[in-house]
Structure 1
Amino acid sequence: MKNLPEREEEREQVMRKVHERSARKCLDLARTNGGLYTKAAQFVASLQGGAGDKGIPKPYVEVLRVLTDAAPHHPFAEMESVIVRELGSPASHIFLRFDEVPIAAASLAQVHRAQLPDGMEVAVKILYPSLRREMASDFAMFRRLGSQIRPGGYDMGWLVEDFERTLRSELDCEHEARNCERAAKLLEGRESVRFPRVVWSLTRKDILVMQFMHGLLRISEPEALLASGLELEECGQVVSDVLTELALVHGCVHGDPHAGNIYLVAREVEGSSRVKPALVMLDHGLYHHVEERVRKDLCLLFLACI
């Protein structure tokens, strides 16, 4: 730091190169270790805009963002041990069909497509079996790193504490299922939102079975939305309306609304040839519940801004 150029523009260029180099090393670390390390990288990548830029330099957000969509998956033999432990039998004894290759892989779990004996198509979310075993040592390492490493003078300690607090609430599939049903209840009657139905008979702490949702469109791919006959302005309005109603009307804030967790589908409108967007919310592991006094203050703030 002492040898940095005096001119501010030159200093920023040098520091950006330092951060980019460090961010690539963090990406390699997360890919090698997986699990909580991938989650930590995703957590950093979500800190974009506003106060996030003050706490985390932009190169970390930009480089680590790839892990929000492309986390490595685990072999099915490893994942089936969770099914046997939680449900008492292998997948072939429980499901009529079970696809061993996951349709999605995240930092804490991966999702497989399956079919129940009654014909219902489901998505089976399975937490990685090594997570709980490795959690204590991983968090101890994160705290140690946070206290010792200060890239460019940035204090990382607050990030570790916030990460640990939010992560523990995500390691409970039954808690996630209850969150899903609660959000669905709060928004029932609204045609522009869809929630998958929970299969409680097959849901446990480490496994979540839900209705498989067809026709999902990524909100980050405008070309696909347009090709499905949707208007982008209506799509943006639906996403805004649903998440804002949850927060400002019900005090229930979705804590992880990125493009891998919320999607759109094209819904037919009765008496019309047009289609309109409906929001599909899949991941309900992390919610923040706002106190009534704070919720009302937020509403007043919005009205004042308008």
Structure 2
Amino acid sequence: MADLPRKAARRTARLAALPLGYAGRSALGFGKRIGGAPAEAVMTDIQQRTAEQLFRTLGELKGGAMKFGQALSIFESVLPDDVAAPYRDNLTKLQDSAPPMPTSTVREILARELGADWKERLVWLDGGPTAAASIGQVHKGRWHDGREVAVKVQYPGAGEALRSDLKQLSRLARTIGPVFPGIDIKPLVEEVQARYEDELDYRLEAEAQHAFAVAYADDPDFVVPDVVEHGETVIITEWLDSAGSLATIIAEGTTQERDHYGELYTRFLFASPGRTGMLHADPHPGNYRVIPNEDGTPGRLGVLDYGAVARLPEGTLPSAMGSLMRLAKLADAEDLMEGLRREGFVKPNITVDPELVLDYLSPFVEPTKVERFRFSRDWMRAQFQRINNPREPGYTVAIKLNLPPSYMLIHRSWTGALGVLSQLGAEAPFKAICEEYLPGFTRPVDDGDPARTG
């Protein structure tokens, strides 16, 4: 423990060096251009080296740095092709990997969390990790009743590292911005900060995962491994065999696989709140595992990692959300604006053009206007450009809208899911899924409020 201050100082120094490294490479690139090197080749080289340093550092540091990188990775689809190419491989690597901790440390943590007799219950433990997350790693094991299990163990000092990383990243948000052009870094850091304490407590994760496992027991489309045992920093669940994650489908899947698993991914996002009262709020592809049928055709979708869930007060997605999307789909700008003010998205003293708000919300609404919608990187980039380019009318809307705390994880999950669907290039019946699972979308909410009933 005495070494923690020195480790924290080294971590802080490495994070602080990220923007400096970018600045140094940019200066070197400028010198190369003066020397006659083509500007395009120089910029590609700078982006490649910057991406490698950024995501290598984030992955090695784990904690908040890696968690921030994972959150960033699902928005890769918004980058222009000439910028995205150098980043894509490094981003994808970060979705599923991190350096391991020693097995001896894992065994020490198991003894502390599960008791000295833990080996009588966990009769076999693989010496090396099978997967890594931002604050822990997973080993394959065997329970005393013969079941294969996944043993997730939190990294020692993960809490301190997470807090330190996020504090440093918050300070560096402005200067890290040029490393990842076109994405507003500060809100991502703030969102991760807002929920990190819950994710550190594996008891809360176990509670959520068990609830999902019960709700999806014997489901024909989805698999949620149940919890076998847990402590504060250890969680043991049933093992899930799969052919890889959605990241594999993004990289090399067929059109049939992209459409099939993209539709299941969307259905789980919309349907699970009604079944569990919670929203799985960590949409990055590594949490979703593909399980082909015996004949090799696309099959079920396994869903892992319940550290980040939104516990919904209404026991499902807010009915106001469906009502607002319905009004936006109908292009009812005035009633939409009234509903946004009522829900706290627009504060009383703020004036904003209702028509611009309609345009701003189109990424969420456009897929509901056709029977089947094909997501793509080009579409996602166009939406992103429209609301992030200062020369576009919709740019001013973003700074005038407010995100109520109760919608924070919902918004993060939805925007992240749009990014993943665009990476997949999936075609899905988005409209029908909203009609089936989103309260208030197909008809007004009749509670006596004329703004709600439209």
Interval of TM-score (by shorter of Structure 1 and Structure 2)? 0.7 to 0.9
CA-to-partner distance for each residue in 1:96-150, whole Å, 9 max, x for gaps?
1111211112221111111122222211111111212333332332222225554
Residue 243 of structure 1 corresponds to which residue in structure 2? 269
Residue 281 of structure 1 corresponds to which residue in structure 2? 303
User: How far, CA to CA, are the matches of 2:150 and 2:272 in structure 1?
Assistant: 25
TM alignment of 1:53-72, pairs within 5 A: 53=79, 58=84, 60=87, 63-72=90-99
Q: What runs of 5+ residues in structure 2 fail to find an aligned partner?
A: 1-22, 330-364, 371-454
Residue 125 of structure 1 corresponds to which residue in structure 2? 152
User: How far, CA to CA, are the matches of 1:90 and 1:299 in structure 2?
Assistant: 56
Q: Would you say 1:158 and 2:184 are equivalent positions?
A: no
| Counterpart among 369, 373, 376 of residue 305 in structure 1 | 369
User: How far, CA to CA, are the matches of 2:63 and 2:270 in structure 1?
Assistant: 31
Question: Aligned-residue CA RMSD in angstroms?
Answer: 3.8
Residue 175 of structure 1 corresponds to which residue in structure 2? 204
Q: Is the partner of 1:96 in helix, strand or coil?
A: strand
Cα 1:61–1:130, aligned 2, differ >3 Å: closer, same or farther?
farther
TM-score calculated relative to the size of structure 1? 0.76
| Counterpart among 230, 250, 253 of residue 203 in structure 1 | 230
Q: What runs of 5+ residues in structure 1 fail to find an aligned partner?
A: none
| Counterpart among 275, 278, 290 of residue 264 in structure 1 | 290
Task: Give the letter for the 1:65 counterpart.
Answer: T
CA contact (8 A) 2:291 2:299 kept: yes
Between 212-221 and 256-265, the greater mean CA deviation after superposition: 212-221
CA shift, 1:211, in A, is: 0.9
Q: Is the partner of 1:69 in helix, strand or coil?
A: coil
Task: Give the letter for the 1:263 counterpart.
Answer: R
Q: Is the partner of 2:141 in helix, strand or coil?
A: strand
| Counterpart among 204, 223, 227 of residue 194 in structure 1 | 223
| Counterpart among 214, 236, 249 of residue 241 in structure 2 | 214
User: How far, CA to CA, are the matches of 2:52 and 2:244 in structure 1?
Assistant: 30
Task: Give the letter for the 1:169 counterpart.
Answer: D
Q: Is the partner of 1:256 in helix, strand or coil?
A: coil
Residue 47 of structure 1 corresponds to which residue in structure 2? 75
CA shift, 1:157, in A, is: 2.7
Cα 1:23–1:291, aligned 2, differ >3 Å: closer, same or farther?
same
User: How far, CA to CA, are the matches of 1:48 and 1:299 in structure 2?
Assistant: 29
CA shift, 1:14, in A, is: 6.2
| Counterpart among 108, 111, 136 of residue 81 in structure 1 | 108
User: How far, CA to CA, are the matches of 2:214 and 2:177 in structure 1?
Assistant: 44
| Counterpart among 12, 16, 22 of residue 50 in structure 2 | 22
CA contact (8 A) 1:91 1:98 kept: no
User: How far, CA to CA, are the matches of 1:210 and 1:45 in structure 2?
Assistant: 26
User: How far, CA to CA, are the matches of 1:224 and 1:66 in structure 2?
Assistant: 14
Cα 1:41–1:231, aligned 2, differ >3 Å: closer, same or farther?
closer
User: How far, CA to CA, are the matches of 1:243 and 1:160 in structure 2?
Assistant: 23
User: How far, CA to CA, are the matches of 1:237 and 1:60 in structure 2?
Assistant: 27
Identity between Structure 1 and Structure 2 (%)? 25
User: How far, CA to CA, are the matches of 1:21 and 1:169 in structure 2?
Assistant: 35
CA shift, 1:205, in A, is: 1.8
CA contact (8 A) 2:216 2:224 kept: no
User: How far, CA to CA, are the matches of 1:136 and 1:221 in structure 2?
Assistant: 31
User: How far, CA to CA, are the matches of 2:232 and 2:67 in structure 1?
Assistant: 19
Task: Give the letter for the 1:110 counterpart.
Answer: Q
Q: Is the partner of 2:237 in helix, strand or coil?
A: strand
Task: Give the letter for the 1:141 counterpart.
Answer: Q
**How many pairs were matched up?**
289
CA shift, 1:187, in A, is: 4.4
CA contact (8 A) 2:166 2:193 kept: yes
User: How far, CA to CA, are the matches of 1:33 and 1:239 in structure 2?
Assistant: 30
Higher-Rg member (1/2): 2
CA contact (8 A) 1:40 1:163 kept: yes
CA contact (8 A) 1:47 1:61 kept: no
Cα 1:167–1:20, aligned 2, differ >3 Å: closer, same or farther?
farther
User: How far, CA to CA, are the matches of 2:261 and 2:72 in structure 1?
Assistant: 27
Cα 1:38–1:149, aligned 2, differ >3 Å: closer, same or farther?
closer
Task: Give the letter for the 1:283 counterpart.
Answer: D
Residue 112 of structure 1 corresponds to which residue in structure 2? 139
